[in-house]
Amino acid sequence: MTRLFNDPSDFPEEARLGLVAAHRDKLMAVPGGVVRSTRSQSGSVAVVVGGGSGHYPTFAGLVGQGLAHGAVMGNLFCSPSAQQVYSVAKAANNGGGVLLSFGNYAGDVLHFGEARERLIADGIPCEIVLVTDDVASAPLAEIDKRRGIAGDLTVFKAAAAAAEKGLSLEEVVQVAKEANRCTRSFGVAFDGCTLPGAADSLFHVPEGRMAIGLGIHGEPGISETDIPTADGLAEILVGRLLEEVPNGIRLQGARVAPILNGLGTVKYEELFVIYRKVDELLQDAGLIIVEPDVGELVTSLDMAGVSLTLFWLDKDMEPLWTAAADAPGYRKGSVTPAQALDPAEVEVVTQDEIPAASETSRALARGVVEALEVLANTVNENCEMLGQIDAVAGDGDHGIGMQRGSRAALEAAKEALNGGAGAETVLQWAGQRWSDEAGGTSGAIWRVILTAMGESLGNEKPLSGQRLAAGVVNARQQVMAFGKAKLGDKTLVDVLVPFADALAWEAEQGQEALACWESAARIASEAAEATRQLIPRVGRARPLAEKSVGTPDAGSVSLALIIQALIPVLKKCQAN
Q: Which among 381, 380, 426, 420 is positioned nearest to 404, based on CA atoms? A: 380
CB 436 within 8 A of CB 409: no
Confidence band of 97 (pLDDT split at 50, 70, 90):
very high
**Beta strands 293-295 and 255-262: pairing type?**
parallel
Pick from 15-24, 399-408, 464-473, 546-555 the range whose average pLDDT is largest.
15-24
CB 26 within 8 A of CB 330: no
Q: Is the pLDDT of residue 188 over 70?
A: yes
Q: Which among 22, 43, 32 is positioned nearest to 94, based on CA atoms? A: 43
pLDDT at 269: 97
Q: Is the pLDDT of residue 240 over 90?
A: yes
pLDDT at 378: 96
Question: Hey, how many other C-beta atoms are within 10 angstroms of the C-beta on 342?
Answer: 9
Q: What is the per-residue pLDDT across 333-368, written as a single tens digit (0 to 9) for each?
A: 999 889 999 888 898 887 678 999 999 999 999 999
Task: Give the rounded percent of residues in the chain with a pLDDT score beyond 70.
Answer: 96
Known active-site residue 217: yes
Q: Average pLDDT for residues 543-558, to the nearest whole number?
A: 79
Q: Which among 16, 11, 19, 12 is positioned nearest to 328, based on CA atoms? A: 19
Helix axes 359-391, 567-575, angle to 10 degrees: 170
CB 459 within 8 A of CB 425: yes
Q: Is the omega angle on the peptide bond into residue 57 within 30 degrees of 0, that is, cis? A: yes
Q: Is the pLDDT of residue 275 over 70?
A: yes
Q: What is the per-residue pLDDT across 421-430, written as a single tens digit (0 to 9) for each?
A: 999 999 999 9
| 173 Cβ contact partners less than 8 Å away, ≥ 6 residues apart | 99, 127, 129, 159
Burial class (CB in 10 A: 0-12, 13-18, 19+), 334: exposed
**Beta strands 27-30 and 46-53: pairing type?**
unpaired
CA 224 – CA 245 distance, rounded (Å): 25
Q: What is the per-residue pLDDT across 45-82, written as a single tens digit (0 to 9) for each?
A: 999 999 999 999 999 999 999 999 999 999 888 889 89
CB 261 within 8 A of CB 150: yes
CB 419 within 8 A of CB 354: yes
In degrees, rounded to 5, the angle at the alpha carbon of residue 425 between the alpha carbons of residues 422 and 426 is: 80
Write down the catalytic residue from 23, 55, 69, 217: 217
Higher pLDDT, 218 or 111: 111
pLDDT at 460: 92
Q: Average pLDDT for residues 113-123, to the nearest whole number?
A: 95
pLDDT at 365: 94
Q: Average pLDDT for residues 259-284, to the nearest whole number?
A: 97
CB 434 within 8 A of CB 405: yes
Q: Is the pLDDT of residue 522 over 60?
A: yes
CA 38 – CA 36 distance, rounded (Å): 5
Three-class secondary structure of residue 306 per DSSP:
strand
In one-letter notation, the amino acid at residue 99 is L
Q: Where are the alpha helices (DSSP H) in 51-168?
A: 82-92, 106-121, 152-164
CB 340 within 8 A of CB 402: no
CB 75 within 8 A of CB 53: yes
Question: Hey, how many other C-beta atoms are within 10 angstroms of the C-beta on 331?
Answer: 15
CA 231 – CA 241 distance, rounded (Å): 16
pLDDT at 394: 66
Phi, psi angles (nearest 5°) of residue 106:
-55, -45
CA 58 – CA 463 distance, rounded (Å): 47
Give the torsion sign (CA, 353, 92, 408, 149): positive
pLDDT at 547: 67
pLDDT at 135: 96
Question: Hey, how many other C-beta atoms are within 10 angstroms of the C-beta on 355?
Answer: 12
Q: Is the pLDDT of residue 231 over 70?
A: yes
Phi, psi angles (nearest 5°) of residue 210:
-135, 130
CA 434 – CA 450 distance, rounded (Å): 9
pLDDT at 400: 82
Q: Which among 24, 98, 12, 87 is positioned nearest to 55, based on CA atoms? A: 12
Write down the mean pLDDT value for the chain.
91
pLDDT at 442: 84
Q: Average pLDDT for residues 485-502, to the nearest whole number?
A: 92
pLDDT at 543: 53
pLDDT at 148: 95
Q: Which among 401, 428, 397 is positioned nearest to 412, based on CA atoms? A: 428
Q: Is the pLDDT of residue 541 over 60?
A: no
Burial class (CB in 10 A: 0-12, 13-18, 19+), 492: buried
Three-class secondary structure of residue 379 per DSSP:
helix
Confidence band of 538 (pLDDT split at 50, 70, 90):
low
Q: What is the per-residue pLDDT across 304-334, written as a single tens digit (0 to 9) for each?
A: 999 999 999 999 999 999 999 999 999 999 9
pLDDT at 237: 97
CA quadruple 444, 455, 421, 563: dihedral, nearest 10: -60
pLDDT at 362: 93
Confidence band of 9 (pLDDT split at 50, 70, 90):
confident
Q: Is the pLDDT of residue 107 over 90?
A: no
Q: What is the per-residue pLDDT across 364-423, written as a single tens digit (0 to 9) for each?
A: 999 999 999 999 999 999 988 988 888 776 666 788 889 989 999 999 999 999 999 999
